[in-house]
Amino acid sequence: VPFTNVVYIEQSDFRIKDSKDYYGLAPGKSVLL
């Protein structure tokens, strides 16, 4: 699978404010593919 510098995600998979029970993408948080 080729990777590029741009990643498109759903708006519902990202939050500006992280919470302990949220497992999506947020600032300062690592996620796995």
How many Cβ atoms from other residues are within 10 Å of residue 15's Cβ? 14
Rounded CA separation 7/2 (Å): 12
Range 27-31 average pLDDT: 86
Rounded CA separation 4/18 (Å): 26
pLDDT band at 33 (very low <50, low <70, confident <90, very high): confident
Range 5-32 average pLDDT: 89
Rounded CA separation 12/3 (Å): 22
How many Cβ atoms from other residues are within 10 Å of residue 18's Cβ? 13
Residue 15 has pLDDT above 90, yes or no: yes
Radius of gyration of the chain (CA): 11
Mean pLDDT of the chain: 88
